């Protein structure tokens, strides 16, 4: 049996603790070899370092890293890791800009290392069945509703409001990662409207109109100010009825009838990510998909801007 890859998690925030660490603990491909963060301390008896440079200067052997930092600092860390010969997984969004991610792709190719842009929402239980069902249908239109309470889901995450922090597009890009996967044709931004709080630098809400090359319309409604029920839904109108993905892609229904999951398949977004990352390393391949990030960039390029009331947690 092949020994598991020795993995370091870089950026020990909420997503690392809630999702990455449990998935790594259950993975046959990886063992947790180190944690890296500017703050904090060692946990679970795992070596802890204050920077990726400190990790590299140690005598610890590392095969791969999972980078879970805010996107604004991700490129330099990933570039350093790839130059060290470490296979690299990038949490979403994979970088603060398209140019950064494209440059990392070239570094990975030159260094013959695996680089994986891990769009976790694509591994939700309903997404792949939805893609297969839509492949043979005529699509009439689609509606994305991604409305959540930022105080609940992103408490204390000041980086999300800074330039390069994406604002409401931080969760919204999850919807784009799903829609670009399940629809058969590329999407283009037609227009967008971004609402930006007077005291911040990133949008708290967005309305985005897209179309594909067949002029099929896709409308997006993103909002960080949602109270009460939260919405992470995608509806696709087809000639064979309405497909809906609810709960961020976890629940698939066709004309309001829920489709049962295939219990024979292993489930879970992050366990699926680590299975794929491990298999990619062994196969010596990369997967660098920038299509969701490109649509976010285009939404900013095509935007009209509205200054709204200040936002404070």
Which positions are catalytic? 92
Q: Alpha-carbon distance 245 to 199, whole Å?
A: 34
What tokens does 160 get? 């999300």
Residue 91 CB contacts under 8 Å (≥ 6 apart), including other chains: 11, 15, 20, 66, 67, 68, 69, 74, 118, 120
Measured between its terminal Cα atoms, the distance across the chain in Å is 50
Q: How many CA atoms lie within 13 A of 49 on its CB side?
A: 17
3-class DSSP string for the chain: CCCCEEEEEECCCHHHHHHHHHHHHCCCCEEEEEEECCCCCCCCCCCEECCHHHHHHCCCCCCEEEECCCHHHHHHHHHHHHHCCCEEEECCCCCCCHHHHHHHHHHHHHHCCCEEECCHHHHCCCHHHHHHHHCCCCEEEEEEEEECEHHHHCCCCHHHHCCCCCCCHHHHHHHHHHHHHHCCCCEEEEEEEEEEECCCCCCCEEEEEEEECCCCEEEEEEECECCCCCEEEEEEEECCEEEEEEHHHCEEEECCEECCCCCCCCCCHHHHHHHHHHHHHHHCCCECCCHHHHHHHHHHHCEEEEEECCCCC
């Amino acid at each position: 049996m092949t020994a598991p890859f020795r993995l370091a998690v870089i950026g020990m925030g909420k997503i690392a603790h809630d999702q990455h660490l449990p998935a790594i603990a259950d993975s046959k491909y990886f063992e947790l070899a180190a944690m890296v963060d500017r703050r904090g301390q060692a946990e679970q008896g795992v070596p802890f370092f204050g920077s990726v440079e400190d990790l590299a200067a140690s005598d610890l052997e590392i095969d791969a890293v999972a980078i879970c930092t805010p996107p604004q600092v991700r490129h330099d860390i990933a570039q350093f890791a790839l130059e060290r010969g470490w296979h690299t997984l990038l949490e979403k969004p994979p970088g603060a800009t398209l140019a950064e991610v494209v440059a990392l792709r070239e570094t990975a190719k030159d260094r013959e290392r695996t680089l994986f842009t891990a769009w976790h929402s694509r591994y939700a239980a309903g997404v792949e069945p939805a893609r297969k069902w839509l492949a043979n249908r005529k699509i009439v239109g689609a509606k994305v509703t991604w409305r959540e309470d930022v105080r609940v889901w992103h408490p204390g995450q000041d980086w999300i409001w800074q330039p390069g922090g994406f604002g409401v597009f931080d969760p919204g890009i999850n919807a784009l990662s799903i829609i670009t996967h399940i629809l058969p044709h590329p999407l283009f931004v037609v227009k967008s409207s971004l609402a930006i709080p007077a005291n911040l630098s990133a949008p708290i809400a967005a309305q985005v109109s897209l179309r594909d090359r067949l002029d099929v319309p896709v409308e997006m409604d993103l909002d960080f100010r949602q109270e009460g029920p939260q919405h992470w839904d995608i509806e696709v109108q087809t000639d064979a009825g309405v497909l809906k993905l609810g709960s961020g892609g976890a629940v698939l229904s066709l004309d309001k009838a829920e489709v049962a999951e295939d219990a024979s398949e292993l489930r879970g977004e992050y366990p699926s990510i680590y299975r794929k990352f491990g298999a990619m390393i062994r196969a010596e391949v990369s997967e660098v998909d920038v299509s969701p990030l490109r649509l976010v960039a285009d939404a900013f390029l095509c935007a009209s801007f509205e200054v709204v009331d200040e936002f404070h947690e």
